[in-house]
Chain A
Amino acid sequence: MAMMGLGVFCLILSFIFEPSQIAAGGFHARFWSNFLHNAVFFTGMAFMITFVIAAFTTAYAGWYVVFKRIWEGFSLFLLPGLIMMLLIGVAVYVHFNHLYHWADTEAVATDEVLKGKSGFLNRNWYLFGTLIIVGGWLFFAKKFRALSIAEDEHGDHATNFKYHREIRKYAAIFLPIAAFTGPAMIWQWVMSVDAHWYSTLFAWYSMASWWLAACALTIMLIIYLKSKGYMEFITKEHLHDLGKFMFAFSIFWTYCWFSQYMLIWYTNNGEETIYYHTRKTEYPVLFFGNLVINFILPFLILMRNTTKRRFGTLFFSAALVFFGHWFDYFYMIKPGVLINAEEAMAHGTETGHDAAGHAVEHTASFVDGFTIPGLIELGVFLGFLAFFIYFVFNQLSKAALVPKNDPYLEESLHHEVQPYE
């Protein structure tokens, strides 16, 4: 609770302490970008876990059943996530903030590129699209949870696995829906911060980031719960497999990151390259730090078999990966928001793209809370994290820790990946 208090306190602080360079604009860009960053990060984790539950169920996976209840808790976080994203949506709608350049109707009117995109990037779709799509995700998350609880109460063997079949049906429906709507939400929430720029790989890359963060948090929560004496039926075999997921998807994430980077670097198409040029020259800590935390360190630490089977090293690397992907979202959102804020400030005095050009030059100086995560950003992060964990544990306390009638429970209890140490 104290941590949640810290989070709220830091959010308020970020509202007050706008960096001096853009304070004159009065956009409260630091507050809104922090809020957007964390809301997107944690909502996305909830979404990815819902997706993964659906994927595992469809794929007849059994090993994950022992910690399925933790993931159900994760997936239900879509409800607070929906509320937070709607708050941002409403704020965008009534121009409370200036996160998105495309929300500025005057600028769009003189901008051919944004005019062409306005069918997707407009305030109505941002608000109502979010409502419909995240609402849809929440419907499926709640359905999976309700059926899983019903399975506990009424028994599955007696009903010939009726509830499990039902979950499988909903999971199969959810998969294609999630595959199309997930990227749409990412384009809208995150990629459209840089409204002129686009990348077809962006959704892959950021969804991998969400899933890695969720996987790392799962590992940390399991180790924490085990240290408190709960869930002793989750063994290091399960954690080993989760560690493998973390290892493999760290490589997948890097693959997506690099593919996106290399294609843009090689093509050297001005309007695309400027995105990376800005980040590499003005945010080197974010740009290279991102790769070090999210690829080089997990790759080297998790490569050894034994590091995935010892709680200490696994917890350390999970914490690293979790923070790393929060950092990754920071990198995706903050520079773009800063550029937008500066563009909007310059808008009054200069016109069109001259202003944009000047704004980009201005960012060369250090801007509190944008160039690298400051203490306030870390406080907001911890606050959101505490809220997320509180929410998950609250959900966990509402049902049995073991889905006792799940048809795959036995398989999961005897899960074994490596017989020797």
Chain B
Amino acid sequence: MKGQHKEVLFGLYNDEEVLMSAIKKAKKQHLDIMDVYSPFPIHGMDNVLELEESRLHIVGFLFGMTGMFTALIGMSWIFGGSLMFDGDWPTIFGGKPYWSLPAFIPIVFEMTVLFTAIGMVVVFYIICGLGFGVNNPILDDRITDDKFCIAFQTNGMGDADLDKLNGFFKATGAEEVHTKAI
């Protein structure tokens, strides 16, 4: 898809209730919706669009494990005494053994949280295509304000299909219908 333009036909709605019933109708007619845009999250939308559960939390768990082991192994490497490490720079704190787990736990906890948080933010940005230097075309500025939008990709569509989509927008009460190449 790289370098190729997407031909997009989209309709703008004024009300989220109208939008919801339009999506339901589109699903019933087996129209292939590219995406739906809304200025705010709409309750029940996931259900209607048949979206799957996000898998971001699995990433979070993996990053958490990474952070945990980084901290544990890092400290074991420095202090030695366990996990097969000799100790790179063993130091006694407060008369405790070199490798004293209770003292490590707060650090392990913090590293777990840090890795999870940063890792999840980065992955979330990558999934959503919001990295640095990425230019995301917006269909219409008003979909970040007060308009609700359903978009169809129309690359290589015949007139009959386009008419069907236009008819759909008209039947479901779209205020405006536009085309745009992005």
Contacts and interface: CB of A to CB of B under 8 A. Distances in A.
Interface string A283-308: 00000000000000000000101000
A268 B51 contact: no
A420 B46 contact: yes
A258 interface: yes
A258 B105 contact: yes
A419 interface: yes
Contacts, number: 29
Nearest to A262: B102
Contacts of B44: 416, 419
B102 A268 contact: no
Interface of A: 258, 261-262, 265-266, 268, 303, 305, 416, 418-421
A51 B87 CA distance: 50
A261 B51 contact: no
A261 B102 contact: yes
Most buried by B among A262, A419, A420: A419
Nearest to B95: A268
Contacts of B103: 262, 266
A266 B106 CA distance: 13
A260 to B, nearest CB: 11
Contact of A305 (B53, B96, B102): B53
B105 A420 contact: no
B52 A420 contact: yes
A265 B103 CA distance: 9
A303 B116 CA distance: 15
A164 B102 CA distance: 47
Given A258-B105, A303-B61, A420-B52, A266 B47 contact: no
A258 B103 CA distance: 11
Nearest to B44: A419
Interface string B32-44: 0000000000011
Contacts of B137: none
Given A261-B102, A262-B106, A303-B61, 4 more contacts: A262-B105, A418-B53, A419-B46, A419-B47
A420 B53 contact: yes
A262 B107 CA distance: 13
Contacts of B105: 258, 262
B142 interface: no
Nearest to B106: A262
A303 B61 CA distance: 10
Contacts of A262: 102-103, 105-106
